[in-house]
Structure 1
Amino acid sequence: MPNSNLTLIRVRGKRHKTSASAVEDVACKARVANRNKSCSSRPSKQSAKHNKHSDKIRLRDGSRAKMVGKRVGHLEALPVELIEKIFLLSLEFNFARASPAFGALLSRKRVFRILTFLAFYNNPRPDDGRSAAYISNFLRPLGYVPLGPNEQKALQAEVINCRWFNLSLLKQCHRDVFQVTLQNFVFGDSPCSFGLVLDNPDFDLLAKHLDQNPEDWGAYFKGKDRHGQSCHLEIKFHRVGVMSNVLWAPDFLPMIVWTVPDEFFAEKPWTEEKFRLLHSLLSHAPHDFLLSAPNYLRPNTTIDISRDKIQGCIHHAITLENVGLLSMLLSWDERAYRYSSVLSPSTQNTQSPESYGTSGERYGIPGEHFVTATRQSEHPGLFQVLLRANAESIPYDDLEITSWAMRQEDRAFGEWLLNYMIDVPARRRDNTPLFSGGWATRFARHPEDFPDDPDCYIWWNAFEKYVEEHVAGLEAPELVMR
């Protein structure tokens, strides 16, 4: 080879020079393609107007609800009335959570009102066709289908856990269920109704009375039944009663609460409104009714409200020095214990024996509440409220309580407390409590509402005055049958 230092390069094919005309053709094709793409991305005025409203759905009143997202699915495009009916018939809350569109459509006050009514209305005659027709008219366009106790309990848990559920909505439900009960079973013409006719002045007074805050309800109204016999209609916060010399019937409980889920107690903070909401819910738990009702009237379900959670609320009420709330919670806890120890100890009485006593034993409260009261206030009133709940639950050998009693400004009460703490072991052993009942008995004002110790007179009058000032007008409802 002439030059052996050169490296051989393999060349495939023959090189051709691109002509200027070919380059111009490629550039022309690119310009045409870009022009077509630009034109296709510009919608017409008609299509733009359509796209503008494609993410909205027409409501019953002609307005449009804006949906989240740019595309609306086939189910989301159904009429709002049909979507509401599907949801209310199924009572499947995951349906409302399936898409933002469903959530927006179903987040309406009317839907919330119907759900709350179905969750808390206690229908005494679910088999009565006339009452079902009246309720369907009240709920229209939804047809009323009575729920079983366990179905209603599950619905209550779902409703209470929703963010939209509040005290105002529960009060509206309170009025709704009372109106339905009165129209169906007191004033109605069905065989299971009293057919009561009120005097004209009383009828007007009843309408005004039901417009008030349900917590203030409490009145009697005169009238006559379908047989012309004189009757009295009683409206209370939790019940409706009809009294007659001829007919007897148990009181109606238009609203009933079977459960308060644990999630309700976990949500913070505990505001004054939330405590009032809890008060209303607990007031409609039918502990006393189930204890006194004959077997054929008892629903096949249980009350599922955790006493452990309520004890946490009692502790919080002590730290707030809210005596009214504290006494109400103590009253509810006593009734709940009485129910759990008699009717369903296997499912309800899950607390430790050290804290509350075992099934068949006397009611008690955790001793830590007394210690918390001494740390919270030097005034004896708060501590005496706990003594009235269950005096034998006091930790009789606790140093903090002993020190608190010794520094009491009311020396008479401090000395009495020190002497009583010495007697507590014997009272526990001999089952001779200072009081025969707790705050549930106190609210009922039974004759046994006085201590089994003549020396209590040195502080009893001051305690009565303290309670009157802090618990004025508060009455724990007794859901009992006449």
Structure 2
Amino acid sequence: MASRKGNEVPTRTKLAPEQTVRRTSKSAHAVSKPKRRPGRPFKMSSQSNSSRSTSGRSTPRREPVSRPRTPPLSLSMLETLPVEVIEQIFLYALNLNLPRASPSLAAALSAEHIYRVLILLAFWDDPPSHPGSKAINRMFAPCEYVPLSLADRRQLQDSVFRCRWCTADRVREQIPTVMILTIHRHWFNAGIVMEPQEKAALDRFIARKDDSVRVFHGKGPPSQRISEFLSAATGPDFTDLAPNANNTGLHQYELHITPMVLIEVRCKELRSITTFPGIDLVSFPSYLLRGPSGGYSDADVAFLEMLRITSCNYTRGRGTVMPSTTTQVNRTLLHQGLHKALLQQKYNAVISLLKIDEYCFRFQAANQNRPVFFGIPSEHFLTVTRVGRDKPHLNAAFFEALLRASAESLPLNSEEITQWTVDNMRRAQQNPSAYNLMNGRFARWLSNFLLRLPDQIDFSHEDPTAQLFYCGQLDLMDMEGISFLDQVLRPSNRDPLVNWLPQSSFRTEDHWVKK
């Protein structure tokens, strides 16, 4: 078709002869003007909009904008499976990256019963050699339970800790279930028989209806688990320590339960006490040790303290010469977190980190029941002298906490420490308030202790049990310990400093009985 210029008439097309075109136009003209019925016709939206144009000019009709249509997302064969099948695949593989593969998989696997099973698998120590149990399998539903090796459980526990859904509340809710699993495995599955009244009391305890009775009695055959445990703990002289271990007769057993903390199975014939912690913590989570980027919150400190207590990383184990722990801790990350807590002035975080560090260092299984010297970085003491000087009473409390952890880690010949002691003694003279006087007495004792510190360090390295403080407890058999008691504690009516590891803000008695 030729282009039009000005008001030129377009040339005819070659679709039909001229006469045909004229007849067609005439008939079309006749049809285009039908005789309408009287009355007002409905206005179309386009006509209505065009009639509102200003100055009587018609507005050109806008063509609808064609937008590209988003093609529907195509699901993989895995994503189209029923949710129950996806759950079974996930729990069989235990690959926590699977929910991150797609939103549909994340939606299918983001359920409380999946979180519960993962926590149980990660925190219950059940060796693969143990036989199956219907009661245990029911508690793991919908998972088909298979015991994990230590390496697999270590990997799963680390992966669970890195998930956002792994909160202190969710872990705390499953600690009773972990302990109930331990009772089934090492009491009922061991063939121990109880009197009806004892059995009824234990059933109420397991149902979490009543925890007033915590010691139970029963009779059963020799426990292979206890025999293996004692053999590993005491060495080849096990038969001498437990001469009746291989007897085929029934043994007397006692089940001692501390809710949320530990389970003890005692055997009179074996003269043994086997301890199982509330949860088996392979390692403390890294993000809690080094502290979140924004600093420690109260929830972070509470989570850390709960893990310390419920994993029994605080107590002197009975039945062994010295306590022992298999829980690992990254000391580099821990002291990074300790520095952050000192800068943030989080006292509870400082205390929890110091307790975890000392217990896991002193009593790790690699030490083989031999005492070791425990120390902390000296820079922590200098950090205290630089931070929080506007709150003298709190500032001195931080310094004393570090001293209770390791007094022998004080920096030698430090001008900042010397100035800190002088400032506290001067403040006590100028403003003799109760806090200032207490801090002044502490600073005066510290100034004298710094003079004898080199000899104290040498003596403690030769005999680690002679450190001034051991697990936070003051050594009252040491001359420096007696002077600390007489010069610092007694004038302020303070009790002697005892073992601070069992002391905790986590209230274990609040979480067993269902409310």
Same-fold status (TM-score > 0.5): yes
Equivalent residues of 1:257, 1:286 under 8 A apart? no
Residue 422 of structure 1, aligned match among 430, 444, 451: 451
Residue 392 of structure 2, aligned match among 378, 381, 391: 378
- d(CA) in 1 for partners of 2:375, 2:125: 31
* Superposed displacement of residue 177, structure 1: 0.4
Using a 3 Å threshold, how does the CA distance of structure 1 residues 252 and 266 change in structure 2: closer, same or farther?
closer
- d(CA) in 2 for partners of 1:106, 1:112: 9
1:199 is aligned with what amino acid?
E
Secondary structure, aligned partner of 1:383: helix
* Superposed displacement of residue 245, structure 1: 3.0
2:142 is aligned with what amino acid?
P
**Corresponding residue for residue 205 of structure 2:** 206
* Superposed displacement of residue 321, structure 1: 4.5
1:172 is aligned with what amino acid?
E
Using a 3 Å threshold, how does the CA distance of structure 1 residues 319 and 22 change in structure 2: closer, same or farther?
farther
* Superposed displacement of residue 249, structure 1: 4.3
- d(CA) in 2 for partners of 1:440, 1:22: 115
Equivalent residues of 2:373, 2:464 under 8 A apart? no
2:442 is aligned with what amino acid?
F
2:305 is aligned with what amino acid?
H
1:103 is aligned with what amino acid?
A
- d(CA) in 1 for partners of 2:441, 2:315: 41
* Superposed displacement of residue 333, structure 1: 0.6
* Superposed displacement of residue 83, structure 1: 0.4
2:246 equivalent to 1:235: no
Where does 1:29-428 land on structure 2 (aligned, <5 Å)?
70-123=73-126, 125-131=127-133, 133-186=134-187, 188=188, 190=189, 192-196=190-194, 199=198, 202-203=201-202, 206-207=205-206, 210=208, 220-226=214-220, 229=252, 231-247=254-270, 248-263=272-287, 265=290, 267-269=292-294, 270-283=296-309, 303-339=327-363, 342-343=366-367, 362-374=373-385, 375-376=387-388, 377-379=391-393, 380-408=396-424, 409=428, 410=437, 411-428=440-457
Equivalent residues of 1:391, 1:434 under 8 A apart? no
Using a 3 Å threshold, how does the CA distance of structure 1 residues 366 and 183 change in structure 2: closer, same or farther?
same
Using a 3 Å threshold, how does the CA distance of structure 1 residues 200 and 321 change in structure 2: closer, same or farther?
farther
* Superposed displacement of residue 382, structure 1: 2.6
Equivalent residues of 1:157, 1:261 under 8 A apart? yes
Using a 3 Å threshold, how does the CA distance of structure 1 residues 434 and 150 change in structure 2: closer, same or farther?
closer
Structure 1 portions without partners, runs of 5+: 1-15, 26-67, 345-358, 478-482
After superposition, what is the alpha-carbon deviation per residue over 1:177-226, rounded to whole angstroms, capped at 9, x for unaligned?
A: 0111112322x1x3x25445563785477358x579xxxx9974243435
* Superposed displacement of residue 284, structure 1: 5.5
After superposition, what is the alpha-carbon deviation per residue over 1:319-364, rounded to whole angstroms, capped at 9, x for unaligned?
A: 45544443332121112222569459xxxxxxxxxxxxxx996211
- d(CA) in 2 for partners of 1:222, 1:321: 45
1:206 is aligned with what amino acid?
F
Using a 3 Å threshold, how does the CA distance of structure 1 residues 450 and 154 change in structure 2: closer, same or farther?
farther
2:175 is aligned with what amino acid?
H
2:301 is aligned with what amino acid?
F
- d(CA) in 1 for partners of 2:101, 2:416: 55
* Superposed displacement of residue 162, structure 1: 0.5
Secondary structure, aligned partner of 1:428: helix
Equivalent residues of 1:115, 1:159 under 8 A apart? yes
Count of paired positions: 387
Equivalent residues of 2:176, 2:260 under 8 A apart? no
CA RMSD in angstroms, aligned pairs only? 4.2
- d(CA) in 2 for partners of 1:277, 1:449: 34
- d(CA) in 1 for partners of 2:470, 2:153: 27
Equivalent residues of 1:331, 1:438 under 8 A apart? no
* Superposed displacement of residue 403, structure 1: 1.6
2:479 equivalent to 1:455: no
- d(CA) in 2 for partners of 1:434, 1:284: 28
- d(CA) in 1 for partners of 2:274, 2:251: 20
* Superposed displacement of residue 378, structure 1: 1.8
Using a 3 Å threshold, how does the CA distance of structure 1 residues 388 and 166 change in structure 2: closer, same or farther?
same
Using a 3 Å threshold, how does the CA distance of structure 1 residues 22 and 80 change in structure 2: closer, same or farther?
farther
After superposition, what is the alpha-carbon deviation per residue over 1:287-340, rounded to whole angstroms, capped at 9, x for unaligned?
A: 78999999xxx99xx754311111123234434554444333212111222256
Equivalent residues of 1:134, 1:184 under 8 A apart? no
**Corresponding residue for residue 243 of structure 2:** none
- d(CA) in 2 for partners of 1:415, 1:266: 34
* Superposed displacement of residue 285, structure 1: 5.7
Using a 3 Å threshold, how does the CA distance of structure 1 residues 405 and 99 change in structure 2: closer, same or farther?
same
Structure 2 portions without partners, runs of 5+: 1-10, 22-70, 221-249, 429-436, 508-515
Equivalent residues of 2:262, 2:312 under 8 A apart? no
Please report the TM-score for the alignment, with normalisation by the length of structure 2: 0.64
- d(CA) in 2 for partners of 1:249, 1:434: 28
* Superposed displacement of residue 78, structure 1: 0.9
Please report the TM-score for the alignment, with normalisation by the length of structure 1: 0.68
After superposition, what is the alpha-carbon deviation per residue over 1:149-180, rounded to whole angstroms, capped at 9, x for unaligned?
A: 11111101111000111001111221110111
- d(CA) in 1 for partners of 2:494, 2:346: 16
* Superposed displacement of residue 438, structure 1: 7.9
Equivalent residues of 1:324, 1:474 under 8 A apart? no
Secondary structure, aligned partner of 2:280: coil
Equivalent residues of 1:160, 1:260 under 8 A apart? no
